[in-house]
Structure 1
Amino acid sequence: ETLAQRWSSEGWSTYLSITGAVIGWVRGTGLMEQSNIVAESLEKLGLRTFSPVEMAFNILGLLSPVMSSFAQIEPIQADLGGGFDRVPDLAEKTAEIRTAIRAEAEKRRVLAMENSADFRVIHGAAAEALHQKVSVQPRSNFRFEQPKIGDTEELKSIAKMEGPIDPNKVVVITGFAEVGPWGSARTRWEQEARGELTIEGVIEMAWMMGMIRHVNGKLKNGKPYVGWVDAASDEPVEDKDMKARYEKEIISHAGVRFIEPELFKGYDPARKGFTQEIELSHDLEPLEVSGAEADKYKREHGDKVDVWETAPGSDSWLVMLKKGARVFVPKAVSFERLVAGQIPTGWSGARYGIPEEIVSQVDRTTLWVLVCVAEALVMSGISDPYELYEHVHISEVGISIGSGMGGMQSLSAMFRDRRNDIDVQKDILQETFINVASGWVNLLLMSSSGPIKTPVGACATALQSVEIAAETILSGKAKVMLAGGFDDFSEEGSVEFANMNATSNAKAELAAGREPSEMSRPTTTTRAGFMESQGSGVQVLMSLATALEMGCPIQAIVAYSSTHTDKQGRSIPAPGHGVMSAALPLQRSLASWGLTADDIGAVSMHGTSTAANDKNESHVYHEMFKLIGRSPGHAVPAMAQKWLCGHSKGGAASWALNEVIQSLQTSIVAGNRNADDISPELRNFSYLLYASTSIQRTVQDLNAALLTSFGFGQVGGILLVLHPAHVLARLADDELNSYRGRVAKRHGITYTRMHSALTHGDLVQVKDSPPYPAELEDAVLQNLNARAGSTTSGTWAFKAPLAAFPALAERKTVAKSTTAIEQEAGIARMMAGVQGVGVDVEDMNAFPADNETFIERNFTPAEITYCRAQPDARASFCGRFAAKEAVFKAMGVPSKGAAAPMRDIEILPSPTGPKVTLSGEAAKVSKETSSFLVSISHADSVAIAVAHRIGG
């Protein structure tokens, strides 16, 4: 009312329009909660109360175009009070209503007690209990569900192809896991798809962050108890209280948030440290050190330092840095990259069962990978990795887990801490190698001897890993592969990404009024760089044949994968269009499953929130869909996960693949809730829908999805992922039913092991020995038929006698064709009488055809006449001379030297080829029964002759 009056009197009418409302009683709000009991009776007096939805509808109606046009002329004030101002003595009437309600309630209570007493006397106390009110409180229910296998009709409603399928030529994912800013894949999906954590999600996050622990024993007061207790106070906590007690703290210490120094060895962006070398302008006060340290100072500073012993024979020395000595002085700046995606505060590998000596030895990225591998195997229904060797040979299980940078904390320790003379473990170097995480996985968990392929593809590493794993399985080199990626966040990486202007400037974002969780905004107008993150992701890939045999759940199908480089340029980070080369192979892969471009129900974008990537990636998708025939206007919902988790570099595509699998299983396309304003430049890409909220689809609409990933250094890749129904629908009924039973058993293993992980902290069960004794090692490794068996200790091991060795391959001979056999027989007949062979080559350019003496010594008159009659006399003489030499060699008689004349061997033309006539000395040494077959050929500058001596 006051604003409306001032609108006119103070001249606001030119600038503002005012719409206001006087609201009445809104039921269900905190303000009116105590009075809601009398609302119904008051309405009988002619008043009106409103539900929150009704009042919201009325207020929004004031903003309609018609009402807004009236507000341009004069202020609008709506009376939504419900008529309370027109009821006299309202307080008195309200009090009367309350008194009447209390009296009625008391009367009903007395009658109920009377009836209860009668019922108890007649039927007994036990019968009465059945009719008493039971208070049901929310409880957690960790199901750890596997993909539902529908009936045949449901499966066929999804799959587009029928008929048998070669199970050795199909790659499936049987388990997946991640460690990221939102904990596990389960808790991350709750936050991503639904925007809040369930009771189960809160409990799991609180457990992994060390806020609660499970007790099966006595409390500190001595009472027996089974359940959760607060880790700090040891007080019991019921499931129903979990969200109220822990959710706020969980949210504040998970996801994308202000950098927490305790997670990064004290690194605080507000005080980003540097050191500067300065030269002292005066002598400093002495400092006391040991003799060894004094020697080091003297060696470095020379005459710019004085050292002396405080007392003879003691190890106490004084060191005084003098004028001119150089020292490094720390200084700090306020760094603008204040925010990052970080592993939940309190996460510890020891909580998952990793021994403390391993936790203290390895880089933390290795801990993440160990947890992911263990969980992915358990989610595959595999409790003990050694069970794999009951079904496949030890050489058929491989690893292709990679990273962009490897162990960043170890790299920092190796350079910075070592330089600063801080105590660092002696074997820190090994923890910086990218392949060492896979090495620890095999050392502590797998003990396999299969393929090891470690990709390094920057931000696309995990997609490379999946493609490598799939290709390795399809090539027959492995039947089970562990794929995935990981990377850390570090002070050094944060600074260098900032120097490249690749990451989000938190200070600028804060100045714009944005919270840390809003600073990664893929596809929006205001996107301004990617948000760094840390974590890992792992998938278990198998051939379909192996998965069916073992009964492992099929989470998804890897139907197509490829990686591509980009064009010439000068920028390593610049994105490109190389992935578009996959368009036609992708279309062929879709067709092989009976699918078209219109069947793709969702895409998972790399979506880094950088200006270049999001536009480039949208262009790639749009042009590919156009080429492979997607219907115009049929937009694909796009997921851009980095709005929630940030960009973990090497692990990014692993998280995205987990997201795609969960999307296919739930038929939910997760929305980008930071997409407050889609960039206008993306309007041209009409094949994509940039959703800001999650979309619930049907499995018939969402059973095929694409995933793309791009990395610094000319790396791009794409995956086609399908719903399990596309293979299950093509199994025979008996095979499907048999598989369904095996999967149920595997789910029982998953359920048991995951519950045990939460209550006993034993998800990662480190191995103490390989699955074979030392005396069997060589035999197991070489015998591809060797298989492990279960033992009484609950694990699997190889025992003698092993299965028989596979037979060695025989050298195969190629069957000859009839024509080849006939040719060989003809040659054999022709060569049957050959007793000698001679070959000679002469250089025509060096042949002395113009030397009459040479010609007359080596050629008969008939030969001279014939050769000089030819178009090229030199070539003719040279060829005849080569033939004479070849005949002489075929005769197999001792030579009389290079100067011996060759006239005794005459070679003249005949209808059947060159004819050889021997005379003189040549005739004497040759057998009379011998004859000669001669061939003369000419090349550019040489003459070649071959002579065969027949018979004799």
Structure 2
Amino acid sequence: MKRVVITGQGTINALGADVAQTIDAMANAQCGIGALEFPNADRLSIKIGGQIKNFDASERFSRQQLNFYDPFTQFALIAAEQAISQSGLVFDGELAEFSGVILGTAGGGLQTQDENYRSVYEDGKNRVHPFVVPRLMNNSAVSHVSMTHGLKGPCFTVSTACASSNHAMGQAFQMVQSGAAKAMITGGSESMLCFGGIKAWEGLRVMSNTGCRPFCASRDGMVQGEGAAVFVFEEYEHARARGAEILAEVAGFAMSSDASDIVMPSVGGARRAIQGALNSAGLNPTDIGYINAHGTGTAANDKTECAAIKDALGDHAYDVMVSSTKSMHGHLIGGTGAVEMLACIAAIKDGVIAPTINLAEADPECDLDFVANEARQKSVDVAISNAFAFGGLNAVIALRKI
């Protein structure tokens, strides 16, 4: 089996327009959650989110391109451009044929759907834009990244709700690990911050209108975010031969299904995914230095995740730093694991441990080291990123310093 490393990363999210801005915001415990600004937001009960502000798509893309690009595709293209540029790879010849794209998304072109439903049902129009289908399909972002960069290998979208990005990155890892690909562009993108997107989530009654407070005794729900993060996963020897900067090694990956409930999380399912990722990487619980938790800020998720971490790591769970960066950028649903991977890389590469902000008083059932409210500087050799989705689908990725 081949070793897999990360040689490029890119992002756009509520904390920053690139990786440097995002990590700086995390290091300074900044919050990107604020008042929602889009048509009909005043009709919503939930009025906050991790929205990307001061973004003008027309400054990045031509009018012709925007005919085909829903915001989730725009975000993916921006993040992919940054990641590929940092990697230094040029995809032509044989490399292009053995490189591909796997991205996660839950809603796909939801903003396109929302706008056109309104046009037909509210405004009474009988026509929609001729490119509605290419804009809204879940594989739109993958296809445009593939076409933009000439990636001719395996290209597809993974949609597993809040675990979409981790599942996508896990599949990309296995593609390179098996030798099926030399390099894969992977991560996730989401843009659900529109009237229909928020209104649907309101119905679940899991949203907060006061802020995201993972593991806090006063937490009252999740807060949605938007954006993308994309990475270049590359075969280690290929990266070393060309003198590429290696950010981290993708050491292991595992997934599991709760097979129990469509919305309630399971301690057993989460524990098995964590243990599986360690087994995949050949790691012991005591090797783990940092966990980027799924940490949504809902009552059920946070206590279930804490129990799973303790079950998986035993007594070492109390020595591990755990944080939820959703407290700062919000829950990007299908894109969330990708943005959270940035924090894992920062921990391994630079020793920057992102905090869990808004943590005033920990829930007694959540008694781990949550790096409360202030970032920490500490060397970390191994980090894992948890993603536990509606539908009981779990995916955990392990990174290692190289």
Fold-level similarity (TM above 0.5): yes
Q: Does the Cα contact within 8 Å between 2:383 and 2:398 map onto a contact in 1? A: yes
1:435 partnered with 2:269: no
Q: Deviations over 1:749-798 (max 9, x none)?
A: xxxxxxxxxxxxxxxxxxxxxxxxxxxxxxxxxxxxxxxxxxxxxxxxxx
Separation of aligned partners in 2, 1:666 and 1:448: 31
Out of 331, 349, 355, which is 2:57 matched to?
349
Q: How far off is 1:403 after superposition?
A: 0.6
Match runs of 1:366-405 below 5 Å: 366-382=73-89, 387-389=90-92, 392-405=94-107
Query: Which residue is 2:352 aligned to?
Result: 668
Supply the AA of the counterpart residue of 2:133: L
Separation of aligned partners in 2, 1:608 and 1:631: 23
Secondary structure (helix, strand or coil) at the match of 2:207 reads: coil
- More relative contact order in 1 or in 2 (CA 8 Å, sep 6+)? 2
Supply the AA of the counterpart residue of 1:356: R
Q: How far off is 1:452 after superposition?
A: 1.4
Query: Which residue is 1:635 aligned to?
Result: 319
**Compared CA separation, residues 452 and 714, structure 1 to 2 (3 A):** same
Out of 255, 260, 272, which is 2:32 matched to?
255
**Compared CA separation, residues 256 and 693, structure 1 to 2 (3 A):** closer
Q: How far off is 1:696 after superposition?
A: 3.6
1:551 partnered with 2:243: yes
Separation of aligned partners in 2, 1:713 and 1:631: 29
Supply the AA of the counterpart residue of 1:573: V
Q: How far off is 1:547 after superposition?
A: 1.0
Supply the AA of the counterpart residue of 2:345: I
Q: Does the Cα contact within 8 Å between 2:289 and 2:383 map onto a contact in 1? A: yes
Q: How far off is 1:697 after superposition?
A: 4.0
Query: Which residue is 1:452 aligned to?
Result: 155
Q: How far off is 1:175 after superposition?
A: 0.7
Query: Which residue is 2:254 aligned to?
Result: 562
Q: Does the Cα contact within 8 Å between 1:608 and 1:642 map onto a contact in 2? A: yes
Separation of aligned partners in 2, 1:557 and 1:694: 27
Q: Does the Cα contact within 8 Å between 1:192 and 1:670 map onto a contact in 2? A: yes
Q: Deviations over 1:300-344 (max 9, x none)?
A: xxxxxxxxxxxxxxxxxxxxxxxxxxxxxxxxxxx3201111012
Secondary structure (helix, strand or coil) at the match of 2:138 reads: coil
Q: Does the Cα contact within 8 Å between 1:555 and 1:661 map onto a contact in 2? A: yes
Query: Which residue is 2:392 aligned to?
Result: 714
Q: Does the Cα contact within 8 Å between 2:29 and 2:354 map onto a contact in 1? A: no
Secondary structure (helix, strand or coil) at the match of 1:681 reads: coil
Q: How far off is 1:620 after superposition?
A: 0.8
Q: Deviations over 1:70-124 (max 9, x none)?
A: xxxxxxxxxxxxxxxxxxxxxxxxxxxxxxxxxxxxxxxxxxxxxxxxxxxxxxx
Q: How far off is 1:573 after superposition?
A: 1.5
Separation of aligned partners in 1, 2:40 and 2:244: 44
Q: Deviations over 1:344-381 (max 9, x none)?
A: 22x123434x3232124421211111111110011113
Out of 477, 488, 507, which is 2:180 matched to?
477
1:172 partnered with 2:2: no
Q: Deviations over 1:858-897 (max 9, x none)?
A: xxxxxxxxxxxxxxxxxxxxxxxxxxxxxxxxxxxxxxxx
1:339 partnered with 2:48: yes
Separation of aligned partners in 2, 1:195 and 1:680: 23
Out of 177, 189, 193, which is 1:486 matched to?
189
Query: Which residue is 1:192 aligned to?
Result: 26
Q: How far off is 1:624 after superposition?
A: 0.2
Q: Does the Cα contact within 8 Å between 1:675 and 1:691 map onto a contact in 2? A: no
**Compared CA separation, residues 534 and 586, structure 1 to 2 (3 A):** closer
Q: Does the Cα contact within 8 Å between 1:603 and 1:639 map onto a contact in 2? A: yes
Q: Does the Cα contact within 8 Å between 2:105 and 2:334 map onto a contact in 1? A: yes
1:692 partnered with 2:372: yes
Q: Does the Cα contact within 8 Å between 1:368 and 1:536 map onto a contact in 2? A: yes
Out of 629, 636, 645, which is 2:329 matched to?
645
Match runs of 1:402-551 below 5 Å: 402-419=104-121, 420-422=123-125, 424-443=128-147, 445-488=148-191, 489-504=193-208, 506=209, 509=210, 519-551=211-243
Match runs of 1:95-174 below 5 Å: 169-174=2-7
Secondary structure (helix, strand or coil) at the match of 1:553 reads: coil
1:609 partnered with 2:313: no
Separation of aligned partners in 2, 1:648 and 1:588: 28
Separation of aligned partners in 2, 1:584 and 1:618: 14
Query: Which residue is 1:363 aligned to?
Result: 70
Q: How far off is 1:677 after superposition?
A: 0.8
Secondary structure (helix, strand or coil) at the match of 1:713 reads: coil
Secondary structure (helix, strand or coil) at the match of 1:388 reads: coil
Q: Which runs of 5+ in 1 are unaligned?
A: 1-167, 197-253, 273-334, 510-518, 725-952
Supply the AA of the counterpart residue of 1:348: D
Q: Deviations over 1:787-841 (max 9, x none)?
A: xxxxxxxxxxxxxxxxxxxxxxxxxxxxxxxxxxxxxxxxxxxxxxxxxxxxxxx
Please identify the structure whose Cα radius of gyration is greater: 1
Q: Which runs of 5+ in 2 are unaligned?
A: none
Q: Does the Cα contact within 8 Å between 2:253 and 2:280 map onto a contact in 1? A: no
Q: Does the Cα contact within 8 Å between 1:467 and 1:562 map onto a contact in 2? A: yes
Q: How far off is 1:709 after superposition?
A: 0.4
Separation of aligned partners in 2, 1:381 and 1:350: 27
Separation of aligned partners in 2, 1:411 and 1:586: 36
Secondary structure (helix, strand or coil) at the match of 1:169 reads: coil
Q: How far off is 1:663 after superposition?
A: 1.6
Q: Does the Cα contact within 8 Å between 2:146 and 2:155 map onto a contact in 1? A: no
Match runs of 1:808-827 below 5 Å: none
Separation of aligned partners in 2, 1:357 and 1:575: 43
Supply the AA of the counterpart residue of 1:438: V
Q: Does the Cα contact within 8 Å between 1:413 and 1:424 map onto a contact in 2? A: no
Separation of aligned partners in 2, 1:659 and 1:646: 14
Q: Does the Cα contact within 8 Å between 1:486 and 1:536 map onto a contact in 2? A: yes
Q: How far off is 1:723 after superposition?
A: 1.2
Supply the AA of the counterpart residue of 1:714: G
Secondary structure (helix, strand or coil) at the match of 2:198 reads: helix
**Compared CA separation, residues 705 and 348, structure 1 to 2 (3 A):** same
1:578 partnered with 2:269: yes
Query: Which residue is 1:115 aligned to?
Result: none
Instruction: Give the alignment's TM-score, normalised by structure 2.
Output: 0.93
Supply the AA of the counterpart residue of 2:15: W
Q: How far off is 1:568 after superposition?
A: 2.7
Q: How far off is 1:695 after superposition?
A: 4.9
Q: Does the Cα contact within 8 Å between 1:414 and 1:429 map onto a contact in 2? A: no
